Chain A
Amino acid sequence: MSDEHDTRERTAQEQRAAERRTDGRRAKERSTSKVRAAIRDELADDRSRAETIEMQVPVIELSHVYLSFDQPILEDVSLVAKRGETICIVGESGTGKSTTLKLILRLLVPERGTVSINGEDITELNFQEALDSRQGMGMVFQGAALFDSMSVFENIAYPLREHTDMSEEEIASRVREKLEFVDLDPDRVMDQLPSELSGGMRKRVGIARGMANNPEIMLYDEPTSGLDPLTTGTITRLILKLQRELGVTSVVVSHDIRSVFKMATNVAVLHDRRISFFGTPEEMSASDDQYIRNFLGGA
């Protein structure tokens, strides 16, 4: 009996001791995790502070841009896009919307005014520097502008082959990843030629090619023109997905007011060679400017 009691007592003591040890450990853990949390918080603070600073430097900035060929195209155009924002440029046909994209890409150089990317004025760059600066940008052309002598795979792999030292396997996996991102089945479309694809698919391949290099800026020239309403919705969602998941800064030239209102952080209305309005979609729909009212009504 006493033996039994002893044994039980010992076990209880051991248990208590064990409990004390665990408690100690827990307490220790608690304090370390507190420290870690504090560090984490502080780091997060730092990061968010850094991010807010970064947010303040415009990724794309056009200021007082003048451009003319035989006649004036743009007069005193200013535009700002901060990190992660989507700017939509709307306006009638032939008002210089696509030209604005070409200025950002430095395919054109303004006569006066500056175009800055990440704070650097790109109007002063020479030809080679301009080619380099474009590598941080992805452009989706109106007609997709896929190289029709190359397969879908080669089209998307093109910027990777041109500017990276990626191995064939890395290129192949990157191409697959991008095709999957734009909701295309890589095995089905990869070996097809652009001429064998539908308009919507071509647009999506165009987007995949534009983002192959993981650029921080995406430019879209009428991404939804000539597409049916369902495909238009898909492309709009895709642009939104790119912005939300990858945080890219986007400039979209579009006629399609409905998708513009879905995507835009800010809308720029180009009218009479000038930006007649720049603000959020809400501000735009609340505006009582006659031209904007007509524009929205017409759409």
Chain B
Amino acid sequence: MSAILPDYRPGRLSPLSERISAAIKKRLATVRDYFSLAGRALGFVFTRPFYAQDWVQQMDEIGVQSLGIVLLTGFFTGMVLALQSSVQLQTFGATMYIGRLVSASMIRELGPVLAGLMVAGRVGSGIAAQLGSMRVTEQIDALNTLGTDPIKKLVTPRVLAALVMLPVLTIINDFVGILGGNLISTTLVGIPTSLYWRTVWEQIASDGFTLGVIPNDFVQGIVKPFVFGGVIAISACFFGLNTTGGTEGVGQSTTRTVVLSSILILVLDYFLTQVLLSIFAP
């Protein structure tokens, strides 16, 4: 062997490229597992046994118990939107259009995204921690041993509940946000409530209706949280079920869940908006 490469062995020639290819393979396998979990969880929706009780319980945990933070964030977001837009609109003498701005931003963007981010933080982390500790205390193995498919028992009810509850939470968030805008525009800007709500309605009606009755803005505002709900629940269950390394691993799974679902919510929001705008283009 030459002096430059004293330790030359064929297997060790390119450890870096090997490591990179191994890392890529691992990532791809993770992505595949993620989608296969999603597929199996949704596939079980129509097969017996139905764990209806778990589903209802999860709807309570994901939906009803998230109501508080959603109301709070929605209300303050509406207020700050009204405040900021009043300053901008004042320069054009168009403060009467505050209602239009607040409702458009809330229903199309902030309602779904904020509800999604809040639920990712509150519910996603909770699910990941719960399933993660079930994994490290062998409760998942116990379920398997007792002849129950853990995906069916644990993942399907959570995904279903999130798919149903996130749109509901978003609608509430939208409404409370518009209400918050109402409070600011009447008290600080001096726009009467009736005018505010008229402009809100004008905005909603201006984009047309689906099937003649449902405002297009609403349809856009509901499709997003539906997708976000699925993303949050599946990410949380994925990281929770794949937890390794004891209690420390549970912490890591929780963090990963919140990070991944938040990023996915913001990234998917952009792409969904593009698709929805092209469908509902005026």
Contact = CB atoms under 8 A, between A and B. Distances in A.
A139 B142 contact: yes
Interface residues of A, number: 22
A134 B142 CA distance: 11
Contact of A137 (B139, B143, B145): B145
B90 interface: no
B141 A145 contact: yes
A105 B49 CA distance: 22
Contacts of A137: 145
Contact of A135 (B49, B137, B142, B147): B147
Given A141-B142, A145-B142, A147-B142, A159 B147 contact: yes
A158 B149 CA distance: 13
Interface string B43-55: 0000001000000
Contacts of A148: 137, 139
A233 B144 CA distance: 29
B158 to A, nearest CB: 13
B18 interface: no
B30 interface: no
A131 B141 contact: no
B146 interface: yes
A28 to B, nearest CB: 55
A168 interface: no
Interface string B144-183: 1111110000000000000000000000000000000000
Contacts of A123: none
Given A127-B149, A159-B147, A142 B138 contact: yes
Contacts of B137: 143, 145, 148
A5 interface: no
Nearest to B57: A149
A134 B145 contact: yes
Contacts of A135: 147
Interface in A109-152: 127, 131-132, 134-135, 137, 139, 141-143, 145-148
Contacts of A162: 49, 146-148
A237 to B, nearest CB: 24
B139 A134 contact: no
B147 A147 contact: no
A159 B146 CA distance: 6
A105 B143 CA distance: 12
Nearest to B130: A149
22 contacts: A102-B141, A105-B144, A105-B145, A107-B144, A127-B149, A131-B147, A132-B147, A134-B145, A137-B145, A139-B142, A139-B145, A141-B141, A141-B142, A143-B137, A145-B137, A145-B138, A145-B139, A147-B142, A148-B139, A158-B146, A159-B147, A162-B49
Interface of B: 49, 137-139, 141-149
Interface of A: 102, 105, 107, 127, 131-132, 134-135, 137, 139, 141-143, 145-148, 158-159, 162-163, 209
- 7 A-B pairs with the lowest CB-CB distances in the bound complex, closest first: A145-B138, A145-B142, A139-B145, A141-B138, A131-B147, A159-B146, A135-B147
